[in-house]
Chain A
Amino acid sequence: MARWGMVIDLRSCVGCHACTVACATEWDVPAGQARTHVHATPVVGTFPALQSSVFVAQCNHCDRPPCVSACPSGATSQGADGIVRIDRAVCIGCGFCVDACPYDARYLNPKDRKVDKCDFCAARLERGQEPACVATCTAHAKHFGDLEDSQGAVARMVYEQGAGRIESTAAAVGPNVYYAGKPSQLELVHATFQPRASRMPMAGTVWGRLLMPLMLTVVGATFAGQAVAFFNQLRTGEQDFED
């Protein structure tokens, strides 16, 4: 099975937002929200040696996605093809995954109050089509393919031409969206758009670290007490209540 990945060549990207519009149209993304974002770094340096870069962000379908483990209901999962999907029939809108994503690639859809994000256009892939953003990219800056196909363009850009991941020490989660560009450009993008540490809301932290162990202990202790009583009952034998 393919393991899907994407390479975004920042040298080609012109920041036209066609990818954002194509994605929003394809997936009925509400106004004010996006599955794929186009950002720009600040202009740095001294005239005339100025530099800036466009940066395109979306779900990275990470190797170790924190959103999957944060989702209480199992609505978020990762398939063998590497795509992190949301089963919207199961999402309860708690937002744990939104906080968990180091890249802020998720949003709560105000229409149905469920979480949404890029899924590499999984439905289009099943029809043999490229993701909408890749098909629409005016500068052919987005490349999509199988990371395990050594002859494929994406694998060659990653493993031979040095396209790299945007990671940080706080969030080393193995993103599968790679970036190609000039070294100074990638350095600037890295410095500007470094992923944050994954977060868990207070409710999740209290649940996982305090209340879950507490409740399991209480239920376990009750069960153990019942077991002692039951074995005591077996040991002494049943006495008729009439006595």
Chain B
Amino acid sequence: MKTSTVPAHPTPLTADQADVMLQRHLKKHHIAIILLHWFNAIVWGLELVTGVALIASPIFRFAPGWYLSMVESAFGTRGHLLQFHLALGLTWIAVYLVYGVFGFRTYLSREVLQNEIALDDDDWRWLVIRTKRILGFTREALPSQGVYNAGQKLFALMVYAMVPLIMITGIIMTFRLMGPAVIGWAVVLHFCAVGAVVSGLLIHVYMGAVFPEEKPAFFSMITGTVNELYAYNHHFKWWTSMKARELAWERRHDEEALPAPEPGIPD
């Protein structure tokens, strides 16, 4: 969409405008984030498969006996199964420590979290309307969203709260720290924190991989980009900020006759 000013609200597009925007792509995810996402997905898949099989007590287990036997058989012994779960978990923690250290200013600083993750009024209305739309109760238009929609933000907030808990309790159990009373509570908190994330993961995976309206979001985790039409329809606030940057660059370019823009910013 070629405009001289950025619109304040989404307006209906002509077929030609939509077609042009469909061909243009905006960069949404850095390669480091894409790699981290899929590393995270693989780790979570494996840790869930092995973790469920590690809860063997007749009082606490919820997986059927055949599942426990099958997973244990795949690893040879129960000890090997636990060792795998711990080694992978510690690797996951180590990778996130590196991410936390080197990516703090880019991804985790207060400003980034406030701009990208904190929920505003539009987000809360989005959550209500989106739920009604998914369940088929309304076709009301969704409020404008930033680079992440309210569902993604809510999931991110829960993950930010639960992941440190999972890591700390995991370390306590792995190294049997602070005595049996603390280890006992660590087992319980580890289970609950994972359960909370899994309930969010079910929605996350469904929305990303199955729900048709968000398919570009799924593919953006492979290519790193989304088409401009999707950004306009689903992340209008983000689209306007990108557009404002683009227009500002164009003004500077016109004034200073700068060289060609970097790839990723549509001209």
- On A, residues with C-beta under 8 Å from B are 68-75, 87, 89-90, 92-96, 98, 108, 112-114, 200-201, 203-204, 206-208, 211-212, 215-216, 218-219, 222-223, 225-226, 228-230, 232-233, 235-236, 238-242
The answer for the CA separation of A50 and B203 in the assembled complex, in Å, is 74
Residue among B22, B211, B230, B233 having the largest count of chain A Cβ atoms under 10 Å: B211
Choose from A68, A201, A230, A241 the contact partner of B184 (Cβ within 8 Å).
A201
Q: Give the segment of B34-42, B190-198, B251-259 that binds chain A.
A: B190-198
The answer for the CA separation of A234 and B256 in the assembled complex, in Å, is 54
CB distance from A35 to the nearest CB of B (A): 18
Choose from A74, A211, A228, A239 the contact partner of B188 (Cβ within 8 Å).
A211
Query: Would you call B199 and A203 a contact (CB within 8 A)?
Result: no
B150 at the interface (CB under 8 A from A): no
Which residues on the A side are within 8 Å of B200 (C-beta)? 222
Query: Would you call A90 and B82 a contact (CB within 8 A)?
Result: yes
B57 at the interface (CB under 8 A from A): yes
B: interface residue count bin: 35 or more
Which residues on the A side are within 8 Å of B135 (C-beta)? 225, 228-229, 232
Which residues on the B side are within 8 Å of A93 (C-beta)? 176, 180, 183
Residue among A69, A87, A93, A216 having the largest count of chain B Cβ atoms under 10 Å: A93
B160 at the interface (CB under 8 A from A): no
Q: Give the segment of B58-66, B98-106, B238-246 that binds chain A.
A: B58-66
Query: Would you call B184 and A96 a contact (CB within 8 A)?
Result: yes
Which residues of chain B in 8-62 are interfacial with respect to chain A, using CB atoms and an 8 Å cutoff? 18, 22, 54-60, 62
Grouping DSSP codes into helix (H, G, I), strand (E, B) and loop, the B interface class, with mixed when no group exceeds half, is helix
Which residues on the A side are within 8 Å of B54 (C-beta)? 73-74
Which residues on the B side are within 8 Å of A229 (C-beta)? 134-135, 206, 211
Query: Would you call B18 and A242 a contact (CB within 8 A)?
Result: yes
Given contacts A73-B54, A87-B79, A236-B136, is CB(A222)–CB(B196) below 8 Å? no
B159 at the interface (CB under 8 A from A): no
Query: Would you call B79 and A89 a contact (CB within 8 A)?
Result: yes
CB distance from A238 to the nearest CB of B (A): 4
The answer for the CA separation of A241 and B213 in the assembled complex, in Å, is 5
The answer for the CA separation of A206 and B189 in the assembled complex, in Å, is 11
The answer for the CA separation of A72 and B180 in the assembled complex, in Å, is 13
Which residues on the A side are within 8 Å of B58 (C-beta)? 68-69
Query: Would you call B176 and A113 a contact (CB within 8 A)?
Result: yes
The answer for the CA separation of A68 and B22 in the assembled complex, in Å, is 61
Which residues on the B side are within 8 Å of A114 (C-beta)? 176
Given contacts A74-B56, A207-B60, is CB(A233)–CB(B212) below 8 Å? yes
Q: Which residue of chain A has the shortest Cβ distance to B80 in the bound complex?
A: A89
Given contacts A90-B82, A226-B202, is CB(A72)–CB(B176) below 8 Å? no
The answer for the CA separation of A229 and B202 in the assembled complex, in Å, is 12
Which residues of chain B in 64-100 are interfacial with respect to chain A, using CB atoms and an 8 Å cutoff? 68, 77-79, 82-83
Query: Would you call B82 and A89 a contact (CB within 8 A)?
Result: yes
Q: Which residue of chain B has the shortest Cβ distance to A231 in the bound complex?
A: B136
The answer for the CA separation of A108 and B184 in the assembled complex, in Å, is 13
Which residues on the A side are within 8 Å of B230 (C-beta)? 241-242
Grouping DSSP codes into helix (H, G, I), strand (E, B) and loop, the A interface class, with mixed when no group exceeds half, is helix
Which residues of chain B in 202-256 are interfacial with respect to chain A, using CB atoms and an 8 Å cutoff? 202-203, 206, 210-216, 229-230, 233-234
CB distance from A109 to the nearest CB of B (A): 10
Choose from B18, B82, B187, B196 the contact partner of A207 (Cβ within 8 Å).
B187
Which residues on the A side are within 8 Å of B212 (C-beta)? 233, 238-241
Given contacts A95-B184, A113-B176, A233-B212, is CB(A222)–CB(B56) below 8 Å? no
Apart from A90-B82, A94-B187, list 14 A-B contacts with CB within 8 A: A73-B54, A73-B82, A89-B77, A92-B183, A93-B176, A93-B183, A94-B184, A223-B202, A229-B211, A232-B136, A235-B136, A241-B233, A242-B229, A242-B233
Q: Which residue of chain A has the shortest Cβ distance to B21 in the bound complex?
A: A242
* Subset of 24 A-B contacts with CB under 8 Å: A72-B56, A74-B54, A74-B56, A89-B79, A90-B78, A90-B82, A92-B173, A108-B180, A201-B181, A201-B184, A203-B184, A203-B188, A204-B59, A206-B188, A207-B191, A211-B191, A212-B60, A218-B195, A218-B196, A218-B199, A233-B210, A239-B213, A241-B212, A241-B214
Choose from B56, B180, B229 the contact partner of A95 (Cβ within 8 Å).
B180
